[in-house]
Amino acid sequence: MNYRKLFRVKPGSRLKLGKLDPGSTDDHMTERSAERLVGKLGLELSRLQYTMYSEGKRSLLICLQGLDGAGKDGTISHVLASMNPMGAHAHAFKVPSREEASHDFLWRVEKAVPARGEVAIFNRSHYEDVLVTRVHNLVPKPVWKARYGFIRDFEERLVASGTTILKFYLHISPDEQLRRFKQRLEDPARQWKISESDYTEREFWGDYLEAYEDAIARTSTEDAPWYVIPSNKKWFRNLAVARIVVDTMKSLDMQMPAPAVDLRRIARQYHQAERRAGPTVSASRSRRR
């Protein structure tokens, strides 16, 4: 199944998140087979990221958005952890600090975008400034409404400089969110993630869906698309995101760079050094065998 086509939000289209089934999966896939495939895709992702890092010509920005409990952390740990930290970094955008709040809303985001050869993963992103600020009336409507255009311009500039952008909305149901909150309460390893806002924010569920629908409709473009991923089933969420990221990176047709030195000359130097070393090198080789 072509997940890039299936879950992509076409530019200019409107969607109603309430009408999309967050529990849907690929009918031809089981949890066990999906987990095996995610493992294989992880190896492929590692190879592609190494090629991107070595080529040094382009970068990848992955934005993960979703309501509390949607699985942003889980997606990073299960799907994207196979990437080498040398050329990848994750950044979580929490409540702006005093310094961040004193600048334009994109200021803190600009500092975290990937350089050429890098992959950056945003756990929440610049979209918080047309979501939380809108739902809780933190800024006047003309202010947050104007930000859609600023975001499109910002992403267009990144694309022009060689950055590929993938934006994922992890779609869960209210019941599934509540079930995951219960797991946090019962699991000591997850209790640190609990906050009172987990429950108070549920009162604004409809407002958040409306804010997401507008943000996605206004900013899903050909070069910076949104993907709405059914995420009630964690195994399917992981599979869909991994498949889309891998297929997108493969479409970039990246190439390993040519050697910067004369390999034949280097090889001659190596063989000369090997001959001068004499029996020591040969004995070492025999022991390794």
Q: What is the Cα–Cα distance from 79 to 53, expressed in whole angstroms?
A: 18
Residue 243's SS3 state is helix
Compare 270 and 106 and report the one with higher pLDDT.
Answer: 106
Joined together, the tokens standing for residue 212 give 């997401």
pLDDT at 289: 54
Q: Cα 284 to the chain's mean position, in Å?
A: 45
Compare 80 and 205 and report the one with higher pLDDT.
Answer: 205
Joined together, the tokens standing for residue 245 give 């990221």
Split at pLDDT 50, 70, 90, the class of 98 is very high
Domain 3-258 CATH assignment equals 3.40.50.300: yes
Per-residue pLDDT, averaged over 229-257, amounts to 96
Pick the range with the lowest mean pLDDT from 16-25, 48-57, 191-200. 191-200
**Which residue, among 1, 2, 12, has the nearest Cα to 226 in the 3D structure?**
12
Residue tagged 């979703």 (tokens):
66
Split at pLDDT 50, 70, 90, the class of 6 is very high
Q: Percentage of the chain surpassing pLDDT 90?
A: 78
What tens digit of pLDDT does each residue of 205-239 get?
Answer: 999 999 999 999 999 999 999 999 999 999 999 99
What tens digit of pLDDT does each residue of 132-185 get?
Answer: 999 999 999 999 999 999 999 999 999 999 999 999 999 999 999 999 999 888
Q: What is the Cα–Cα distance from 43 to 256, expressed in whole angstroms?
A: 17
Q: What is the Cα–Cα distance from 41 to 245, expressed in whole angstroms?
A: 9
Residue 288 has pLDDT above 80, yes or no: no
Split at pLDDT 50, 70, 90, the class of 4 is very high
> Which residues of the chain form beta strands (DSSP E)?
59-65, 88-92, 119-123, 163-171, 226-230
Instruction: Record the pTM.
Output: 0.90
pLDDT at 224: 98
Residue 263 has pLDDT above 80, yes or no: no
Q: How many CB atoms lie under 10 A from the CB of residue 27? A: 6
Residue 68 has pLDDT above 90, yes or no: yes
Q: For the chain, give the mean pLDDT.
A: 92
The DSSP bridge partners found for residue 230 are 171
Residue 287 has pLDDT above 60, yes or no: no
Per-residue pLDDT, averaged over 57-76, amounts to 96
Q: How many CB atoms lie under 10 A from the CB of residue 101? A: 11
